Each structure stands twice: as C-alpha cells, then as structure tokens.
C-alpha cells in the first residue's frame, strides 16, 4: 500500500492482487526481444499484471477509483487469468470500510476494472459499497450490452446491471466534474468511451489514466496493447494526454503496473518517455 498527498487530498494505492496476461497480447505489435527487457515472461509467456485501485480521501468524500477483478469470475476464466480477490482485505488493511466509500468511479466496464462493484450474497448480486454512487460513461455501458465478438468475454453484466437497475450507478455523458476536484475525461482507444479520472487539489494534479497507458512499460506512444479496439486512437489520445500532463507535471497513475502505481512521465534528452518515481508523499 502506498500513500501520497495531492494538495489537500490523500491518495492510497490499493491492489486487488496480481493476475497474468500473455506478454504478446499485452505488448501488441512490439517484439518480445524489446519488451522482455522490461518484464520477464514465464514458460507460458505470461507476465504479471497489477490491479491498482486508488482511494481518494478529500475530507468530505471517500472515492474509490476502479474495483479490480472481484470474486465472481467463472471457473473457465479463473483458469486463464486467476482471481486474486485481494481488494477488500487491502481496503480493510488501509482502514477503509465498505461503508466509507461514497463514490465509485469505473473507467470502463471490462471485468478487470469493475469486478468488486458487486458481490454475491445468498444467491443475489448486491452492491459491495452500499452507500456509494457509482459512475461510468453511458456509451461504455451501451457498448457493453452489445459488444463485438472480439471483446464480449470482457463484459459481465452482473458487475453493473444490478446497480443501473437500482439507480445506484449514474451514466455520464462525456467529460464531467463528479465532485469538486475530481472529474472524468474520455480518452478513446482501448474502448471508445474509456474515461480517465483527474484529481486536482492545491495546485497539484494526478490522473488515473487506466488502460490508455496501462503500465510504466507502455509509455511510448506506439507500445499499444493488442486488446485495444482502436489502436490508432490510443496513440492520438496518448499524445493529447502527454501534451498536457508532461508540461503541467501531472502524476500519472497506472492501472496494471505490478510495481509502480504512480509516477511522473517525462521525456528524456533522447526523446524517450521515462517514469520518474515520486519522492513526496
């Protein structure tokens, strides 16, 4: 668990554990001879992948960004991905109760980003965070109702449809402020409606960039995952993000980095993108 301050807000990185993805899929068209310098694959070509959520305590609200894989994955998918299911233990360890969370933001609705939105209780699917309002883009939810054959496996309606039915999940239309200091911005590429979460307080800014830049290994504009539905848009969105985040010194938070939940992204003298670890916090 790592903690830091962004202005008056306290941010805690909390993991749902590690899962594993095929290294080839994770790094798209990048040859293994290049990506294996960043992370070693096992004998099945799998690499460890993080599931980083962020708790933001603003003083008034306790916001949870992203909810990991959860514990409802069917057996056939557990065999492929594993199901670490550590988020609730780690929240408790950080002194955050399920009732403390009053806002949950999902960047998109793939199962590894909204799994703990709900849990099974006595044959029913119920909200994990009973007091929370949940937020996602309406376009993402609409797409998830009729996904393509290519990514249908990623959408599991029990992670969000019960919340829509109960009115606990609010559907957003584009860029919007959720509460003072916390807003969302749509960056198309991974999916068409994936949103990043921007946190601003006391003149400092942090951004949970989600699958637009899943780890600190994916900083180069061309290192795009093969899961992305619109890889050319991912590249454009990354350029747009860097154009603002680098000069304004935003802290970038990585969903899937197993080691580094956040870092400053900079361009070095050779034009390479580098992650600078934070020293404050």
Binding mask 217-256 for Zn ion (x = CB under 5 A): ----------------------------------------
Give dist(CA 48, CA 43) in Å, integer. 13
Question: How many residues line the site for Zn ion (CB under 5 A)?
Answer: 2
Please, what is the minimum distance in Å from the beta carbon of residue 113 to Zn ion?
6
Of the pair 16, 211, the CB lying nearest Zn ion is at 211
Residue 16 contacts Zn ion per CB under 5 A: no
Query: Least distance to Zn ion from the beta carbon of 255, Å?
Result: 6
- Check binding of 257 to Zn ion (CB under 5 A): no
Return the range that interacts with Zn ion (CB under 5 A); candidates 2-10, 87-95, 106-114, 269-277: 106-114
**Cα 11 to Cα 57, 99, 208, distances in angstroms:** 7, 18, 11
Tokens of 141: 């939810």
Contacts of 275 (CB under 8 A, 6+ apart): 216, 219, 252, 260, 263, 264, 265
Taking CA atoms, 50 is separated from 41, 42, 56, 170, 172, in Å, by 15, 16, 19, 27, 27
Q: Are strands 204-208 and 251-253 parallel, antiparallel or unpaired?
A: parallel
Q: How many residues does the chain have?
A: 281
71 or 107: CB nearest Zn ion: 107
Least Cβ distance, residue 225 to Zn ion (angstroms):
8
Closest to Zn ion by CB, 6 or 49: 49
Closer residue to Zn ion (CB): 211 or 228 = 211
Least distance in Å: CB of 199 to Zn ion? 20
Stretch that binds Zn ion, among 31-39, 104-112, 216-224, 236-244 (CB under 5 A): 104-112
Q: Is 211 in the site for Zn ion (CB under 5 A)?
A: yes
Instruction: Kindly state the helix (H) or strand (E) to which residue 170 belongs, with its residue range.
Output: strand 169-172
Q: What is the nearest approach in angstroms of Zn ion to the Cβ of residue 69?
A: 10
Q: List the beta bridge partners of residue 15.
A: 52
Site string for Zn ion, 69-98 (x = CB under 5 A): ------------------------------
- Backbone dihedral angles phi then psi of residue 117, each to the nearest 5 degrees: -55, -40
Integer CA distances (angstroms), 134 to 19, 89, 110, 137, 189, in order: 24, 21, 15, 11, 23
147-206 residues in contact with Zn ion (CB under 5 A) are none
How far is residue 19's CA from residue 46's CA, in Å, rounded to a whole number? 9
Residue 194: closest CA among 66, 91, 71: 66
Write down the least CB distance from residue 257 to Zn ion, Å: 11
Of 201 and 252, the one with the shorter C-beta distance to Zn ion is 252
* Interface contacts to Zn ion, rule CB under 5 A: 112, 211
């Amino acid at each position: 668990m790592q903690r830091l301050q962004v202005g008056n807000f306290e941010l805690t990185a909390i993991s749902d554990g590690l899962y594993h993805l095929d290294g080839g899929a994770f790094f798209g068209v990048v040859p293994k001879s290049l990506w294996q310098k960043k992370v070693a694959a096992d004998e099945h070509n799998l690499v460890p992948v993080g599931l980083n959520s962020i708790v933001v305590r603003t003083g008034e609200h306790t916001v949870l960004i992203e909810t990991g894989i959860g514990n409802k994955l069917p057996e056939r998918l557990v065999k492929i991905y594993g199901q670490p299911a550590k988020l609730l233990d780690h929240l408790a360890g950080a002194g955050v109760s399920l009732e403390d969370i009053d806002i949950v933001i999902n960047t998109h609705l793939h199962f590894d980003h909204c799994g703990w939105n709900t849990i099974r209780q006595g044959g029913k699917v119920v909200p994990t965070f009973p007091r929370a309002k949940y937020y996602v883009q309406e376009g993402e939810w609409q797409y998830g109702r009729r996904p393509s054959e290519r990514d249908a496996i990623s959408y599991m309606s029990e992670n969000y449809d019960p919340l829509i039915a109960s009115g606990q999940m609010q559907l957003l239309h584009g860029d919007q402020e959720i509460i003072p200091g916390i807003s969302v911005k749509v960056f198309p590429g991974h999916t068409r409606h994936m949103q990043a979460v921007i946190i601003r307080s006391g003149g400092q800014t942090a951004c949970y960039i989600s699958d637009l830049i899943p780890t600190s290994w994916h900083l180069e504009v061309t290192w795009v995952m093969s899961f992305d539905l619109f890889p050319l848009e991912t590249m454009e969105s990354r350029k747009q993000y860097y154009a603002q985040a680098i000069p304004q010194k935003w802290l970038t938070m990585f969903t899937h980095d197993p080691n580094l939940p956040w870092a400053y992204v900079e361009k070095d003298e050779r034009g390479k993108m580098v992650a600078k670890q934070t020293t404050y916090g």
